[in-house]
Amino acid sequence: MPEGRIVRAVSGFYYVRSSEGDVQCRARGIFKKKKESPLVGDRVTYEETDPMEGVVTRIHPRSTELLRPPVANVEQAVVVGSLRQPGFQPELLDRFLVHAEREGLEVLILLTKRDLLEDGDEVERIRAIYAPAGYRVLPTSVRTGEGIEAVKRALQGQLSVFAGPSGAGKSSLLNAVLPAADLQTGEVSKKLGRGRHTTRHVEILDLPGGGQVADTPGFSQLSFGGFEETELGACFPELAARAPDCRFRGCLHRNEPGCRVKEAVEEGEIHPSRYRNYLQFLEEINEQRRY
């Protein structure tokens, strides 16, 4: 049977790219029984039923899997956050970073709408939050072209996923990187302070010169369903690097004595906002376990 990769999923149809072209497929009922669903990015086997139509019969093992946005087998997460309209949202950014770290993805943080920023030091203040975790932070502007060439270089040779809150400018940025995509963009609501969803589904786009990128719908919430409190610390790289030096094995870096992580926060090695978000996420995981 032929094989390919799912590059788009819309209304129960999966578009599988193979040597024959893009084949429109449905999924076999057995996946529902197994409580499995094909994801964009999946390598699959399909059975042809008509010319350029078929049925997905097998999902190949995944190297990575994100449920929000729903995409599989990506290698790099490009997390997009706007500096203005709406303003920078570190908590929402940290939520996605946790999910990306859990899957072992490379991470690039893109800050959009740099041209709207009056305070030139704000980017450096944001870098100071994420540099201790080893993250690269790149400011961009589709109006001035700042950072666009650097984004193109970062996307080459791998499958990346663009993810971030609604209104952050993901589609505008992708249009600058890949003009042929001509993705729909929308205005940010002044009343709500967030954007409308202009991307309605996950779709993999081919980049000139090699590489692919998955465009995804924006989100305004991201929970930690299925997380254990003991694994959260490993999803904050700057905490994970210091955890072996804590007095107690399995330290949650909350109230335990001899905690190296808390010492690092007090000494300025870990940014307080990252630690606050860690504690908040830890509490959310505990709440979810109670219900």
Question: 48 near 23, Cβ under 8 Å?
Answer: yes
Question: 271 near 132, Cβ under 8 Å?
Answer: yes
User: Is 172 known to sit in a ligand binding site?
Assistant: yes
- Distance, in Å, from the CA atom of 228 to the CA atom of 286, rounded to the nearest integer, reads 8
- Distance, in Å, from the CA atom of 222 to the CA atom of 122, rounded to the nearest integer, reads 25
User: Is 235 known to sit in a ligand binding site?
Assistant: no
User: Is 35 known to sit in a ligand binding site?
Assistant: no
User: Is 50 known to sit in a ligand binding site?
Assistant: no
Residue 138 β-bridge partners:
110
User: Is 115 known to sit in a ligand binding site?
Assistant: yes
User: Is 220 known to sit in a ligand binding site?
Assistant: no
User: Is 242 known to sit in a ligand binding site?
Assistant: no
Question: 193 near 109, Cβ under 8 Å?
Answer: no
Burial string for 135-164 (b: 16+ CB within 10 Å, else e) reads bebbbbbbeeeebeeebbebbeeebbbbbb
Run of H or E residues at 109: strand 106-112
User: Is 120 known to sit in a ligand binding site?
Assistant: no
User: Is 170 known to sit in a ligand binding site?
Assistant: yes
Site of tokens 């997390």: 79
What radius of gyration do the chain's Cα atoms show? 20
User: Is 113 known to sit in a ligand binding site?
Assistant: yes
Query: What is the three-class DSSP state of 35?
Result: coil
- Distance, in Å, from the CA atom of 76 to the CA atom of 104, rounded to the nearest integer, reads 9
User: Is 164 known to sit in a ligand binding site?
Assistant: yes
User: Is 253 known to sit in a ligand binding site?
Assistant: yes
Binding site residue list: 112-115, 164-172, 246, 251, 253, 259
Binding site residue list for GTP: 112-115, 164-172
Binding site residue list for Zn(2+): 246, 251, 253, 259
